[in-house]
């Protein structure tokens, strides 16, 4: 590697650095040597991460050399050890004369906003020649691998269960930490969060405590910067900052994080939750005292594990009630805007509840004991400690600054007023305070309380707190810190060294245009009064559609906020803009939650790297997950559209108070200072969000792209002045939209000719979802295998040891109705594996594989995007106002081109999208009938029955025709032709039937002679693109974005008339049956019993009750044997026999649950096993089944009986009609 001399030390760099990179490293080393703070801005894509790592690690090694040189000089007493190299060249001993031991070498703390950003930094570290001792800190949420702790829903539950197990030495992962921490491989390797978890699983050692142990000897420590800025987190992770070098990467977020870490909102629900938890402790302690011998038991509760007197626990409750009353006693104005007071008011308010500096320590200790008591993993009582934990954090925040001996608490309050404001307003949260009446208090809580907000408006408060810890140097760096003067002023600590770096790219690599008008001449403005007008949204849709035609590969579109994004998508869908845009590029929408984010991003990346694709479009919001930290290099981001200025919500109380605070600070210090005004800060927030978004395009020296600023307000000089300095010289303002298209087309033609093609090396994407990330790779055969978690991790009532746990697990749940584990298996070379994941609608051996819809040849079908799905999910969730229940793995494409030859996962995604569309379209009762119909078809292969139900469900409204045709993917091969004819007769369009669709996979691809598409003759994965045929030729592009389905054009079929007439003639009876079964309140229990008896009679018409029961058991065992196979059936039989002999329920249920939950289609067999359970175990088994499926065994049985009755009635109706028609024909012939 090249060796560069900077400031008398040698830096090893992976390549010859550019001048701006040398300047950057010079400034970093200067900060370190002079022990001063620095603020360094360098555009995204200039390699600042690599420069930071190489320069700081080179300085650290030089520092160690200086200590070595001093020790050698002391021993040699002035004699040179090497004549050709003087002792002084080993290190400057005058820089840090106080450093006399290697323990004095400053540690480097590298902090960024998220763990995904840290993973990228650690990946860069692996590319250098430096191999320091390192560690990365994370939370238990990310690092814990203990099965029981992972089952806890809340982070607080995980924390206290972990602490309890560690204290009791019952965690075998923790018990191995001390031994494994000295392992050289673990201590010397460079590990990110994902590597740490994999290492923990491999060596059976706790990653969380292993990281904390490695921290003691580490040269460089990586952590999210809230671990540093939040005093509570810093204490919890035992981070010693004395003498350290702290680097804040992506520091444009530091201002906000400093303020948020020192602020809180205390809601009535928080107080009510804390009081309820105290009540539980009081009740339990009272029971213990009453049941104990008064001569042997004092008021001490040591026997229960809680070293608190009952009187002291009652005092804590009284304190919380007094705090609640003090907050409620504050009078609010009639305007409803709340009331704001100086920061010192918080001390007066807490004093009314006897919470002061003097009593703080005692109260915190008592709360900690109660939280541990309630949060213990072995305690079966209610253990919701979130409210108490929040109260504990709030007390630590308020009383963080201890008064000195010569200062009173009043003086501390005066100091807090410099940074804080207290805001009290009516509670508007969704969580309401419950009315409580208990034996300890007869008072009934009010229906609506008040929220106490304690907001810090000066990031300098947290930064000064850091400096007081004895830091050596603080370095703030980012690509968007402009303007540096105001930024440093807000930090309120000195930054003697600063840098504003230019970019490393040339003029021909960047195109920037301000587009004030759309192609129709309408002014583009996302201002509040115009953002939701029909004219603006239509013009914006036309603008994006035209730009998409000239930008190759990936195109990013950033909106100011989610409401603007939602409203625009809704308008585009209703007025046809969506379909026209998707004719050019499929659209993917940034999900709000974390769970779907990885799948959406992977689908977007896959579409862009596909050689035969025109790329894709990703719609996101400024300040969202996609606008920061993600890498859209090369083809993943050739263009970015900014649709407006993302100003903060102007009427939000916190925004209003922040602006007032800044105006007051500026007035106090005079206009000659560099303090921002409130209005300047307001504009700066929007410009920094824009600058972060545009930084997604240019990611390295040889990257290129175009930036479209589609808002007329970018024409204003003060707005343009807020854009990055490296960007401003390239800006062009356009009066005509046609000139925009002309110039950008010319730009990409030139760039494509003169710029080198992107590297074809393996491309990995790490997404911040709080779990190990998925990867997309271009290398053949390197597909990541993701398997579903073991059942025990999701079913709280099923307690057994986890085996074979796969950390890369992915569970897919669709609204709790069908729980599906979709497995993405590696496609082996010559063996034909069972396809998995088509929502278990068909038997494994009869599923239509993805190759049927994406075989080689033919025109490529436009893929189904995430647009409608994500949009409707968000609207439904917002309308309900509750938790999102839909969680899907979304690959965004009913026929997504299998660029990496993963057709099985593509089919799975298409099926998942279809199920969500059906769920959103049908009513709850109709959806239940639909699910029962699918299960019945799977079990009985009755095509007439399922056809009658589908026609009944999907032909009432022509808008549902698409859902009927899309069901073609679930139809078994020998029914496909018949179903295609039926759809053509009912809807006027077929399903794209071809004769080869009637072949099973084994028939289409025999083991000898023909290789499965996607593999070579030798079994290696083929890299060619698999295109769709059949349906692709008949795709109606004007309507392909209709509720997740496709409209397929086809000529009339010649068969199917008889089936259709039967369906129509039997419709009256079917509707009667359906209406009867959909009644919400059955009159009598006897009716259900009669229904059950009727179903049993129809199933076993020639048997009595006892014989029918025996026949049922025999039929059940036959189904089990058929479903499980001979080997697993033997396990089932053994478990059942042992249960009969030994009555060992835990051993039996672990085996049975493991057998019947491997495939979700076997859940009904698990439910039916309830009949084998002995009476004293039925309740436990029923609870386990309810945890797993969301309904009890009896409810599931009732639904199955109703389904069977409907199916039987449907079949009988069709049979009767068929018989009547045959008799009529015979009469006519006679």
Residue ranges for the known binding site for [4Fe-4S] cluster are 144, 162, 171, 206
CB 1013 within 8 Å of CB 839: no
Residue 1175: which residues within 8 A CB-CB, separation 6 or more? none
For 231-249, the DSSP string reads HHHHHHTT---TT-EEEES
- H helix runs in 802-923, sequence order: 867-880, 903-921
Across the strands, what pairs with 513? 708, 732
Residue 1051 φ/ψ, nearest 5 degrees: -75, 165
- The neighbour count for residue 781, using CB atoms within 10 Å, is 14
User: C-alpha dihedral over 559, 564, 565, 571, to 10 degrees?
Assistant: -130
What are 758-764's contacts with CB under 8 Å, separation 24+?
A: 758/633, 758/634, 758/635, 763/605, 763/609
Quote the CA–CA distance of 341 and 452 in Å, as a whole number: 11
Report the alpha-carbon distance of residue 398 to residue 1146 in Å, rounded. Answer: 50
Question: In terms of DSSP bridges, do strands 731-733 and 510-514 run parallel, antiparallel, or are they unpaired?
Answer: parallel
As given in the structure block, the two tokens for residue 862 are: 């436009």
Residue 356 CB coordination number (10 Å): 13
Closest among 858, 836, 863, 857 to 847, alpha carbons compared: 836
Strands 339-342 and 134-136 turn out to be unpaired
CA gap 111, 249 in Å, rounded: 6
Alpha-carbon separation of residue 946 from 96, 299, 939, 942, 1227 (angstroms): 82, 69, 12, 7, 31
Six-digit token string for 1027? 């295109």
What string of DSSP letters covers 10-78? EEE-SSPPPHHHHHHHHHHHHHHHHT--EEEE--TTS-HHHHHHHHHHHHHHHHHHHHHHHHHHHHHTT
Question: In this structure, are residues 828 and 1018 in contact, taking their beta carbons and an 8 Å threshold?
Answer: no
Task: Identify whether the C-beta of residue 1005 lies closer than 8 Å to the C-beta of residue 1011.
Answer: yes
Sign of the alpha-carbon dihedral angle for 954, 960, 964, 970: negative
> Exposed e or buried b for every residue in 28-60, given b needs 16+ CB within 10 A?
bbbbbbeebbbbbbbbbbbbbbbbbbbbbbbbb
Which among 1052, 892, 1053, 895 is positioned nearest to 969, based on CA atoms? Answer: 895
Instruction: Taking the CA atoms of 696, 766, 867 and 566 in sequence, report the sign of the dihedral they define.
Output: negative
Strand partners, 1228: none
Question: Cis before residue 666, ω within 30 degrees of 0?
Answer: no
Residues of each annotated binding site: 144, 162, 171, 206
How far apart are the C-alpha atoms of 275 and 50, rounded to whole Å?
51
Q: Are strands 473-478 and 38-41 parallel, antiparallel or unpaired?
A: parallel
Q: Which two tokens stand for residue 1045?
A: 């389905």
Burial zone of 922 (CB within 10 Å; 0-12 exposed, 13-18 middle, 19+ buried): middle
Side-chain-side CA neighbours of residue 491 (13 Å): 26
| Cα 277 to Cα 370: distance, rounded to the nearest angstrom | 9
Chain-centre distance for alpha carbon 46: 29
């Amino acid at each position: 590697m090249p060796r560069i001399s900077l400031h008398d030390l040698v830096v090893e760099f992976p390549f010859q650095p550019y001048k701006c990179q040398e300047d950057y490293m010079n400034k970093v080393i200067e900060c370190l040597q002079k022990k001063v703070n620095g603020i360094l801005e360098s555009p995204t894509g200039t390699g600042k991460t690599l420069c930071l790592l190489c320069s700081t690690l080179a300085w650290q090694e030089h520092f160690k050399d200086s200590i070595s040189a001093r020790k050698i000089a002391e021993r040699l007493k002035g004699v040179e050890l090497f004549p050709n190299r003087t002792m002084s060249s080993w290190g400057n001993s005058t820089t840090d004369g106080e450093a006399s031991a290697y323990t004095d070498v400053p540690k480097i703390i590298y902090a960024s906003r998220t763990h995904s950003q840290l993973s990228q930094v650690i990946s860069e570290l692996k590319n250098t020649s430096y191999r320091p001792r390192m560690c990365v800190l994370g939370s238990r949420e990310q690092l814990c691998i203990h099965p029981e702790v992972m089952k806890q829903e809340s982070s607080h539950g995980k924390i206290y269960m972990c602490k309890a197990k560690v204290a009791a030495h019952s965690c075998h992962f923790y018990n191995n930490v001390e031994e494994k921490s000295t392992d050289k491989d673990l201590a010397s390797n460079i590990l990110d969060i994902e590597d740490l978890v994999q290492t923990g699983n491999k060596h059976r050692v706790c990653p969380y405590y292993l990281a904390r142990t490695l921290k003691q000897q580490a040269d460089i420590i990586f952590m999210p910067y809230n671990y540093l800025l939040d005093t509570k987190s810093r204490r919890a992770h035992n981070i010693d900052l004395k003498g350290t070098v702290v680097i804040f990467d992506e520091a444009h977020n530091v201002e906000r994080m400093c303020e948020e870490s020192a602020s809180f909102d205390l809601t009535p629900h928080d107080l009510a939750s804390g009081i309820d938890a105290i009540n539980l402790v009081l009740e339990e302690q009272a029971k213990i005292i009453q049941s104990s011998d008064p001569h042997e038991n004092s008021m001490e509760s040591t026997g229960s594990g809680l070293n608190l007197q009952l009187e002291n626990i009652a005092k804590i409750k009284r304190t919380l009630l007094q705090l609640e009353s003090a907050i409620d006693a504050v009078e609010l104005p009639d305007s409803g805007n709340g009331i704001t007071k100086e920061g010192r008011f918080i001390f007066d308010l807490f004093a009314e509840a006897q919470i002061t500096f003097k009593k703080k320590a005692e109260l915190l200790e008592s709360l900690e004991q109660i939280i541990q008591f309630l949060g213990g993993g072995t305690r079966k009582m209610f253990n919701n400690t979130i409210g108490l934990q929040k109260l504990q954090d709030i007390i630590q925040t308020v009383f963080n600054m201890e008064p000195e001996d010569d200062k009173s608490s009043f003086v501390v309050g005066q100091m807090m007023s410099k940074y804080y404001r207290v805001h009290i307003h009516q509670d508007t949260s969704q969580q309401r305070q419950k009315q409580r009446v208990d034996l300890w208090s007869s008072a009934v809580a009010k229906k609506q309380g008040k929220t106490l907000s304690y907001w810090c408006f000066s990031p300098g408060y947290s930064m000064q707190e850091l400096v007081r810890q004895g830091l050596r140097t603080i370095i703030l760096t980012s690509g968007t810190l402009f303007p540096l003067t105001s930024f440093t002023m807000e930090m309120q600590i000195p930054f003697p060294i600063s840098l504003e770096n230019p970019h490393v790219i040339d003029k021909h690599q960047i195109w920037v245009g301000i587009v004030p008008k759309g192609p129709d001449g309408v002014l583009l403005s996302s201002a509040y009064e115009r953002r939701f007008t029909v004219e603006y949204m239509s013009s914006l849709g036309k603008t994006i559609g035209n730009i998409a035609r000239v930008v190759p590969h990936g195109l990013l579109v950033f909106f100011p906020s989610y409401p603007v994004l939602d409203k625009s998508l809704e308008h585009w869908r209703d007025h046809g803009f969506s379909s026209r845009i998707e004719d050019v590029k499929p659209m993917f929408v940034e999900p709000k939650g974390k769970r779907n984010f990885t799948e959406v991003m992977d689908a977007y990346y896959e579409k862009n790297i596909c050689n035969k694709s025109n790329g894709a479009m990703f719609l996101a919001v400024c300040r969202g997950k996609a606008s920061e930290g993600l890498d859209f290099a090369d083809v993943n981001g050739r263009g970015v559209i900014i649709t407006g200025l993302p100003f903060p919500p102007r009427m939000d109380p916190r925004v209003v108070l922040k602006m007032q605070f800044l105006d007051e600070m500026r007035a106090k210090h005079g206009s000659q200072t560099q303090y921002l005004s409130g209005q300047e800060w307001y504009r700066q927030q929007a410009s920094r969000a824009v600058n972060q978004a545009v930084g997604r395009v240019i990611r390295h020296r040889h990257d290129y792209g175009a930036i479209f600023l589609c808002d007329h307000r970018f024409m204003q000089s003060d707005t343009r002045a807020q854009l990055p300095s490296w960007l401003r010289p390239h800006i062009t303002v356009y009066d005509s939209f046609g000139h925009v298209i002309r110039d950008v087309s010319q730009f990409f033609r030139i760039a494509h000719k003169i710029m080198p093609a992107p590297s074809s090396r393996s491309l990995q994407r790490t997404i911040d979802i709080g779990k190990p990330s998925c990867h997309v790779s271009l290398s053949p055969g390197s597909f990541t295998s993701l398997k579903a978690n073991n059942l025990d991790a999701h079913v709280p009532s099923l307690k057994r040891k986890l085996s074979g746990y796969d950390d890369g697990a992915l569970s897919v749940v669709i609204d709790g109705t069908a729980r599906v584990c979709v497995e993405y298996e590696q496609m082996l070379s010559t063996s034909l594996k069972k396809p998995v994941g088509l929502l278990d609608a068909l038997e494994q051996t009869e599923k239509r594989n993805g190759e049927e819809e994406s075989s080689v040849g033919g025109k490529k079908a436009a893929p189904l995007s995430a647009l409608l799905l994500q949009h409707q999910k968000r609207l439904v969730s917002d309308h309900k106002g509750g938790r999102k229940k839909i969680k899907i793995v979304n690959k965004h494409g009913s026929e997504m081109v299998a660029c990496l030859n993963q057709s099985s996962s593509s089919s799975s995604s298409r099926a998942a999208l279809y199920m969500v569309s059906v769920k959103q379209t049908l009513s709850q009762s109709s959806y239940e009938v639909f699910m029962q119909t699918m299960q019945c078809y799977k079990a009985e292969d009755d095509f007439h029955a399922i056809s009658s139900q589908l026609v009944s469900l999907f032909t009432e409204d022509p808008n549902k025709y698409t859902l009927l045709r899309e069901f073609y993917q679930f139809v078994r091969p020998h029914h496909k032709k018949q179903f295609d004819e039926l759809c053509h007769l009912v809807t006027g369009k077929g399903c794209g039937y071809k004769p080869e669709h009637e072949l099973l996979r084994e028939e289409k691809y025999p083991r000898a002679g023909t290789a499965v598409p996607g593999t070579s003759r030798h079994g290696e994965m083929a890299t060619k693109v698999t295109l769709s045929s059949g349906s692709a030729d008949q795709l109606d592009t004007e309507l392909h974005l209709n509720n997740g389905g496709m409209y397929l054009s086809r000529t009339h079929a010649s068969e199917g008339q008889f089936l259709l007439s039967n369906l129509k003639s039997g419709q009256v009876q079917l509707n009667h049956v359906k209406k009867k079964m959909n009644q919400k309140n059955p009159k009598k229990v006897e009716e259900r019993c009669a229904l059950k008896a009727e179903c049993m009679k129809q199933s076993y018409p020639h048997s009595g009750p006892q014989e029918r029961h025996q026949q049922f058991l025999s039929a059940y065992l036959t189904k089990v044997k058929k479903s499980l196979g001979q080997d697993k059936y033997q396990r089932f039989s053994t478990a059942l026999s042992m249960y009969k002999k030994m009555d060992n329920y835990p051993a039996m249920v672990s085996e049975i649950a493991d057998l019947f939950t491997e495939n979700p289609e076997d859940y009904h067999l698990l439910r039916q096993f309830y009949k084998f359970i002995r009476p004293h175990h039925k309740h436990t088994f029923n609870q386990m089944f309810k945890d797993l499926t969301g309904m009890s065994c009896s409810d599931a049985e009732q639904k199955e009986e109703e389904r069977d009755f409907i199916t039987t009635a449907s079949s009988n109706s069709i049979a009767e009609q068929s018989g009547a028609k045959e008799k009529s024909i015979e009469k006519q012939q006679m």
